[in-house]
Structure formats: C-alpha cells, structure tokens
C-alpha cells in the first residue's frame, strides 16, 4: 500500500492485512451474502478504499487487474442505493461491452442481499430500442460505455437527475480509447451532489485532469502491483527469434495446464502463434483488436468455459477480463513495460485462491534483455534462467481441454435461460449435472460447455429434443470455427 501525495489531496492509512468485511458498516444481509460468495477477507484495494467510500468520499483508486476493484465500488454504490426509489441512482462507465457485462454481473451478485435491485447495461452494438424499454421498466443502476450512455442522455431516454454515485471504471483504458470528452459530457449532466469513484490500473496524466474537473477533493489510493512472494512461480527461457513460437508449444506440452493465457506484444504475433499452436494440435484461440464483437464474445466464452486450452492475446485485448482458474500465463514476448509484466503474470494464482500457486513462463531473446532488466528492478529480484531443453513433453497424449462448447441458435431474445438448457440436458437427454459446465446465454445464442467425451452425443440429443417447448439448432464448435 502506498499513498500518492497529490496537491490538495489527503492520503489514506495502511489497511490491516486480512481485514474481514465485518469491520465495515454493511447490513447483516450483505455480510451474509459476501460470505455466501466466498469473500472471506477484503482484498488490499477493498480494505483501503471501502472505509472511505462508505463515508461518501470521492476516491481515485489504483490497483492491478484482478485485485477486486468491482466489489470495492459495487459495495459503495449499493450502500448509497434505495431500492424502493424507482430512479437511476448509480452510473458505472466502462470502456467496453465485455467489461460492462462483467461489472453488471458482479453488481447483481452483490445486490442479491437487497430486494429487486435492477441493473441495466447500456452499450453500443445493440439496438437502442430494447435498452430504452429496459430503462422504462425501471433501473436503479446503469452500467454502460460512455458513447451509448451519452446517446440515451441526448434522447432523453435516460434520466440521471436522481444519481448519487458516478463510477469511472478502468478509467485509464477509457482515456486510451479516446473517451475523455464523452466522460466529461456525461459527468457534467450528473447532479453536483454526488459521490465519484474512479478506478484504474495505471495512472496516466488524463486522470488528474478528470479528477480536477469532476471530483470533490478526492483521496488517492494506490495498491502497489507486487504479488505476494511465492504466489507465482516464474520461469525464464532465452530463445532465438526462430525458436520462440515453437517454445510456447514445448512449454504447453511440458506443463500441460488446463488453461493458459499467452501474451504477445503484437496482433501479428497473436495470429502466428495461434496458427502454430493449432498446427501442432493444441486447442488455441486468438483474441486481438480486429475481431468482430460476436467473434470476441465466442472466443471468451470458449476459453472461460474450459473448452479451449490456450488463449493468445495482446495486452489491450486481455485487459480487465476476469477469467478465474488460469494455471499458466506465458509471456511470448517480454512486456516492454515492467508494470505490464506484473499485471500479466498476476492473472495466474488469483484473488481468493491464495492456496493455488500460479505459473508464469517467460521467453526472451537477447534483444529484450533491457526490458528484462527493468522487470528485475521493479520486482527487486534477479532472473534465473532455465534451459529450453528442460521443456520436454510430459505425455504422448495431445493436450485436450476437458470441455467442448455447443452453440444453440437462440438466446435471451427467445427467453432462453440457463436453467432451460441445463434442464434439457439433464432431463430428457439423460446427462448428469457433472457432465455440464458453464452456460452463457447471450442475446441471440446460447453456449453450453459439456464434457468433451459426450459432446457429439449431447449435440445430437439436444437437437432432437426441445428447449422451452421448441426445437433448436445445436452445433458443436470445432477449433477452426
């Protein structure tokens, strides 16, 4: 924990380690809910920000991805909320639809303790009409992207006259994406008497400008991006350029992790690595800027539901994604910025899984030794190099993901719910609960993960049966889909 001395801003105190939520002014129902969610102790950013946020203070909070920032502002905005008042009382601005969806999901989980809190997401790429209808039905909390929120404000379909909490989540990323003016437009329309919470993984210059214009003597809280020692095991290998992509395949065959996130510095490298890995029989998907939203959604669903072993991504594409259970992170290229390296490896061995040690594999060529040196300085630890030759295959079996994904044509618009799909698989089709994994219902399609060994049969039986009284088209997603 460290506090930044910004002129005109006060600093905060160091939190007690392993602080429980019980020390906060939260309702007994909320404390019980947190326990049910498995949130036993506060993360450092929660412990540092929540006591102040619950007092109504404006905050600038900076902490790495995966540090629990959503609950930090989620609990604060819920504390300000009166569910019996039918008006939008909190607005969370996020850079992308995916992040908005994740934030909305987490807020809904946190809000289970109160009655009927309505959370509506407002993001681009979806017709305005449905969103307007959701707003007319009454919303307490709006989570959205700046552009689309502005659209609704201009049309008069969103009224924020009763707003009491404004949250800027992933503020650095929103600034990267050129949203400064949009954020400013929205913030100017919020009531003056409100609490503003700004969350960010890094602290670029634009943040101070936002704070100056739209926040009231905010406190700045920084949780340094150092991981608990021993939580992440790092291994470094020196490679020649010609060996680099093959070395990633060697590491996968050697460690055989169920889920791996591989970071590349460029989109071209992502594409190449995806091709090389698929060529060698790994189930690998690539995530980079140019994919259409629908393709991105599908890639993420398949990785998160464990039907794809390796996700290859750029930093920007992977930013903020909340994917639990990552056994391994690979730095295919050395991150040019040491802070970025620390964020990348923090994806393995995550919050709330203190007992699980993460594994970070790093490949570096001679040209990258300068960047390696900066990482050593930041981590205050010397790099130990291992010989590439130790990465021998641990088995002659190919590394296959445990699950496979079935895509069902039809989603929320057809009123399909996860329970309907689970019911169809475990009822009529005769599978067990254990053979079914995550179910994601999107607007127009539904994805269900099933045990790989029964995937083809499950697709056949679902197509032959009915969901919500209707027959549905079902397709088993293959790697080249």
Note the residues at the interface with ligand ADP (CB under 6 A). Answer: 38-39, 42-43, 46, 63, 65-71, 320, 322, 324, 351-352
Beta-strand ranges (E) seen in 272-412 are 284-287, 310-314, 328-331, 358-364, 385-386, 403-409
Closest CB 343 distance from Mg ion, rounded Å: 12
Q: b or e along 182-202 (b: 16 or more beta carbons within 10 Å of the residue's beta carbon)?
A: bbebbbebbeeebbbbbbbbb
Residue 117 Cβ, how far from Mg ion at the closest point, in Å?
20
Min dist CB 166 to ligand ADP, Å, is 17
* One character per residue 22-61, x = contact with Mg ion (rule: CB under 5 A): ----------------------------------------
What does 379 interact with, of Mg ion, ligand ADP, none (CB < 5 to 8 A by kind)? none
- Nearest distance in Å: CB 75, Mg ion: 14
Among 375, 393, 392, 397, residue whose Cα is nearest residue 384: 375
Among residues 98, 6, 356, 45, the alpha carbon closest in space to that of 223 is found at 45
Task: Residue 62: name the closest of 261, 204, 195, 174 by CA.
Answer: 204
Structure tokens at 353: 């899984």
Please say which residue, 63 or 311, places its beta carbon nearer to ligand ADP.
63
Using CA atoms, how far apart are residues 133 and 129, in angstroms rounded to an integer? 6
Q: Of these partners, ligand ADP, Mg ion, none, which one is at the site of residue 222 (CB under 5 to 8 Å by kind)?
A: none
- The site partner of 190 among ligand ADP, Mg ion, none (C-beta below 5 to 8 Å per kind) is none
Q: Does 69 bind Mg ion (CB under 5 A)?
A: yes
Q: Which is nearer to ligand ADP, 250 or 314 (CB)?
A: 314
Please count the other Cβ atoms lying within 10 Å of the Cβ belonging to residue 119: 20
Alpha-carbon distance of 430 to 104, in angstroms, equals 34
Q: Point out the residue whose Cβ comes nearest to Mg ion.
A: 69
Task: For residue 97, state whether it binds Mg ion (rule: CB under 5 A).
Answer: no
- Report what 197 binds from ligand ADP, Mg ion, none; CB cut-off 5-8 Å by kind: none
Strand, coil or helix: 190 = coil
Smallest separation, CB 179 to ligand ADP (Å): 18
Closer residue to ligand ADP in complex, CB, 70/262: 70
The listed partner (ligand ADP, Mg ion, none) that binds 352, CB under 5 to 8 Å by sort, is ligand ADP
**Neighbour count for residue 352 (Cβ, 10 Å):** 15
Q: Which does 71 bind (CB under 5 to 8 A by kind): Mg ion, ligand ADP, none?
A: ligand ADP
130-151 burial, b at 16+ Cβ within 10 Å, e below that, comes to ebbebbeeebbbbbbbbbbbbb
Q: Are 280 and 305 in contact (CB under 8 A)?
A: no
Q: Decide: helix, strand or coil at residue 222.
A: strand
Choose between 69 and 97: whose C-beta lies nearer to Mg ion: 69
Measured distance CA(146)–CA(185) in Å, rounded: 9
Smallest separation, CB 341 to ligand ADP (Å): 17
Nearer to Mg ion, 200 or 379 (CB): 200
Q: Shortest Cβ distance from residue 287 to Mg ion (Å)?
A: 17
Among Mg ion, ligand ADP, none, residue 36 binds (CB under 5-8 Å by kind): none
State the nearest-atom distance from the C-beta of 47 to ligand ADP, in Å: 9
Nearest residue (CB) to Mg ion, 201 versus 425: 201
**Is 82 or 357 the residue whose CB approaches ligand ADP more closely?**
357
SS3 label, residue 379:
helix
- Report the residue number, 170 or 297, with the smaller CB distance to ligand ADP: 170
344 near Mg ion, rule: CB under 5 A: no
Instruction: State the minimum distance, in angstroms, from the CB of residue 213 to ligand ADP.
Output: 24
Residue the block writes with tokens 């109504």: 56
21 versus 237: smaller Cβ distance to ligand ADP? 21
**Closer CB to ligand ADP, residue 70 or residue 195?**
70
With contact defined as beta carbons under 8 Å apart, do 421 and 408 qualify?
Answer: yes
Among candidate residues 112, 98, 224, 269, the one with its CA nearest the CA of residue 169 = 98
Contacts with Mg ion, residue ranges (CB under 5 A): 69
């Amino acid at each position: 924990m460290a506090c930044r001395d910004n002129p005109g801003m006060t600093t905060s105190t160091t939190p007690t380690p392993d602080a429980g939520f019980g020390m906060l002014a939260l309702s007994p129902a909320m404390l019980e809910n947190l326990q049910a969610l498995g949130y036993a102790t506060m993360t450092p950013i929660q412990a540092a920000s929540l006591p102040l946020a619950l007092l109504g203070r404006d905050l600038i909070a900076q902490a790495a991805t995966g540090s629990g920032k959503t609950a930090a502002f989620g609990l604060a905005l819920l504390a300000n909320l009166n569910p019996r008042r039918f008006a939008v009382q909190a607005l969370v601005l996020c850079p992308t639809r995916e992040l908005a969806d994740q934030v909305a999901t987490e807020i809904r989980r946190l809000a289970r303790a109160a009655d009927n809190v309505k959370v509506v997401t407002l993001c681009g790429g979806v017709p305005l009409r449905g969103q307007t209808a959701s707003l007319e039905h009454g919303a307490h909390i709006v989570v959205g992207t700046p552009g689309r929120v502005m659209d609704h404000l201009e049309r008069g379909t969103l009224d924020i006259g009763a707003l009491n909490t404004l949250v800027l989540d992933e503020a650095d990323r929103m600034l990267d994406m050129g949203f400064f003016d949009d954020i400013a437009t929205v913030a100017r329309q919020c009531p003056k008497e409100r609490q503003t919470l700004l969350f960010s993984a890094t602290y670029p210059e634009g943040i101070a400008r936002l704070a100056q214009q739209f926040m009231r003597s905010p406190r700045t809280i920084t949780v340094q991006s150092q991981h608990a020692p021993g939580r992440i095991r790092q291994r470094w290998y020196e490679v020649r350029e010609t060996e680099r992509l093959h070395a990633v395949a060697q590491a996968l065959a050697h460690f055989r992790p169920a889920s791996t996130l591989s970071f590349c510095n460029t989109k071209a490298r992502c594409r190449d690595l995806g091709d090389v890995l698929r060529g060698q029989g790994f189930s690998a998907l690539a995530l980079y800027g140019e994919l259409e939203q629908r393709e991105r959604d599908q890639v993420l669903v398949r990785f998160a539901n464990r039907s794809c072993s390796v996700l290859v991504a750029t930093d920007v594409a992977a930013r903020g994604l909340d994917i639990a259970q990552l056994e391994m992170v690979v730095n295919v290229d050395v991150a040019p910025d040491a802070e970025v390296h620390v964020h990348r490896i923090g994806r393995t061995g995550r919050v709330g899984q203190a007992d699980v040690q993460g594994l970070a594999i790093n490949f570096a060529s001679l040209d990258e030794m300068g960047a390696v040196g900066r990482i050593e300085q930041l981590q205050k630890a010397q790099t130990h190099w291992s010989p590439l030759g130790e990465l021998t295959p641990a088995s002659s079996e190919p590394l296959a993901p445990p699950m496979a994904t079935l895509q069902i044509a039809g989603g929320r618009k057809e009123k399909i719910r996860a329970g309907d799909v689970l019911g169809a698989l475990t009822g009529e089709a005769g599978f067990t609960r254990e053979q079914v994994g995550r179910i994601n219902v999107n607007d127009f399609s539904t994805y269900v993960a099933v045990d790989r060994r029964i995937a083809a049969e499950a697709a056949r039986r679902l197509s032959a049966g009915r969901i919500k009284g209707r027959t549905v088209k079902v397709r088993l997603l293959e790697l080249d889909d």
